[in-house]
Amino acid sequence: MERIEHRACFGGWQDVYRHRSSVLDSNVQFAVYLPPQAASKAVPVLYWLSGLTCTEQNFITKSGAQRYAAEHGVALVVPDTSPRGEDVADADSYDMGKGAGFYLNATMAPWSRHYRMYDYIVSELPAWIEEHFPVTDARAISGHSMGGHGALTIALKNPGRYRSVSAFSPIVAPSQVPWGEKAFSAYLGNDRETWKAYDATELVKTATQKLPLLIDQGDADEFLHTQLRPELFKAAADAAAYPITLRMQPGYDHSYYFVASFIGEHMAHHAKALLFPLSPSGHAGRAHGCARL
């Protein structure tokens, strides 16, 4: 693992690393923000998943999240959105291939060799982080657009692994919108039953753990009615008695201006769960890994 950026930020350090991923069979970059509290104790982690065309740089340079991470004492881990390299399959369009991994494990050639972002985010990356950095095993997950899709599906598929989940402008029903239909057909094949394993609107119907779940969606988002359709997820969650907070924010679009405007509230949402998680009785308390934070 090679550190390629190291910058002081709100009393902590914003770094970027490059390492060889065995899961992705490629070199990959990820960003880590360590708040000032990490100099003296282990801290919990929020994983952020970015959207189409992004790298780790978009979130760390545009969101302003480090300020709130420093206030709460939470580390931020921001992976790339796909495998990279000359031998990695790609497409001519922005919504397929590099920069568009959709946080799934591809099963179709030529994508299946490298495009296993689901396994990378769920297993390989956290193992690296928890081995090499001063963090606990208390995790939360969030993301924007395609990354919001990834955060929701990964949290719903892995009960007990995360303390909370949130999303900005997520693709909540990829099986029913053009972005998802295009990517899933290529990565997973034409059997729509297999798509359900990566569709938050399907997964929430049978979710066994009810995490604190926050979604912010701008009502001026140009993709709202064609690609995002949060009402589909809300209806499925309501039918499954899965409590969610869906906030429609007037005037906001799909950009990082939107993310930056509400990232402080999302950080507070996650910090509450990470630092004072709910006990089995539903009351806030200090759980394993958080007693000293």
* Catalytic residue list: 145, 221, 254
Cα–Cα distance for residue pair 58/74, rounded to 1 Å: 19
User: What is each CA distance from 246 to 180, 203, 221, 227, 266, in whole angstroms?
Assistant: 21, 17, 15, 17, 12
Q: Is the dihedral of CA 274, 45, 259, 243 positive or negative?
A: negative
Q: CA dihedral in degrees (22, 159, 275, 75; nearest 10)? A: 20
| R_g of the chain, CA atoms, integer Å | 18
Q: Enumerate the H helices of the chain as residue ranges.
A: 56-62, 65-72, 117-119, 125-132, 146-157, 178-188, 192-195, 200-203, 230-239, 256-275
- Residue 20 burial (CB count, 10 A): 11
Tokens 């982690």 found at: 45
Mapping DSSP to helix (H, G, I), strand (E, B) and coil, where does residue 55 land?
coil
Residue 185's Cα: distance from chain center in Å?
22
